[in-house]
Structure 1
Amino acid sequence: MRNTLSIALLIVGAAVAPARADGDVAKGETSFKKCMACHAIGPDAKPKVGPPLNGIVGAKWAHFEGYSYSADIKDGAAAGKVWDEATLDAYLTNPKAVAPKGKMAFAGIKNEDERKDLIAFLAQFKADGSKK
């Protein structure tokens, strides 16, 4: 009976687990160093070349008020696009594939695990820069 119950719980757990495994926040923080020249995150984050990334995971495109976004990003916002994990993953892989006329001059992160780690790091910040 115990083995049957354990197997049943394992199957149910696998069925409700997210399709995407969480990344490593500490490794993501290290990866974020590639972004720091243009972006800030945290309670005191201010716009740089790019907007602050507080609350970016799950946010609508062009969500930071006062930043001058590219037409591609503004159009995405008008269309109701959201920076969900899949969209961020695609954008971090190749920004120009997602927003061809966007301002982001970054070649992208080709390593899938590194992107997952970076997204996990970004996901821990609320819109006000505090951690969840």
Structure 2
Amino acid sequence: MPAEPNAKNGAKLFKTRCAQCHTVDEGAGNKVGPSLHGLVGRQSGQVEGFAYTEANKKAAVTWDEENLFKYLENPKKFIPGTKMVFAGLKKEKDRRDLIAFLKENS
């Protein structure tokens, strides 16, 4: 049985793997990537003022835990045509921890 997700570890992962392109704080706005504040439960391609690829807009994915888990393993496989250059998190625990952090900031 997998260990409980650790949002503190997820925060560290966000800082080292995501924060150069994304923000999570309310009102912080977009960077190279869209703001991830309120991500969990939102549909893909919906952040105001961010220029998404057609692939992202048309994916119509609702960002729940299951979809985030698959996406974070290999974004380009999950949404072919995305411009996100992130290669993904191969370790299941890292993905679960990052999702726990994103849920806390949604």
Fold agreement, TM-score > 0.5: yes
Structure 1 unaligned residues grouped into runs of 5+: 1-19, 127-132
Q: Distance in 1 between matches of 2:104 and 2:4?
A: 11
Q: Shift in Å at residue 37 of structure 1?
A: 0.8
Matched, 1:26 2:8: yes
Q: Shift in Å at residue 21 of structure 1?
A: 6.9
Is the Cα contact below 8 Å between 1:28 and 1:118 reproduced in 2? yes
Is the Cα contact below 8 Å between 1:22 and 1:120 reproduced in 2? no
List 4+ stretches of structure 1 deviating above 6 A.
none
Structure 2 unaligned residues grouped into runs of 5+: none
Q: Which residue of structure 2 lines up, in the alignment, with residue 95 of structure 1?
A: 75
Matching residue's letter, 1:72: A
Written as runs of structure 1 = structure 2, the 5 A alignment for 1:72-91 is 72-77=55-60, 81-91=61-71
Question: Which of 2, 18, 37 is matched with 1:54 structurally?
Answer: 37
Q: Distance in 1 between matches of 2:73 and 2:103?
A: 17
Instruction: Report % sequence identity.
Output: 43
Q: Shift in Å at residue 44 of structure 1?
A: 3.9
Matching residue's letter, 1:38: C
SS in 1 for 2:18: coil
TM-score (norm 2): 0.91
Is the Cα contact below 8 Å between 1:93 and 1:110 reproduced in 2? yes
TM-score (norm 1): 0.74
Written as runs of structure 1 = structure 2, the 5 A alignment for 1:5-16 is none
Per-residue Cα deviation, 1:40-67 (whole angstroms, up to 9, x for no partner): 1112421111000011111111121111
Q: Which residue of structure 1 lines up, in the alignment, with residue 104 of structure 2?
A: 124
Matching residue's letter, 1:82: T
Q: Distance in 2 between matches of 1:82 and 1:63?
A: 10
Count of residues paired in the alignment? 104
Q: Distance in 1 between matches of 2:3 and 2:68?
A: 15
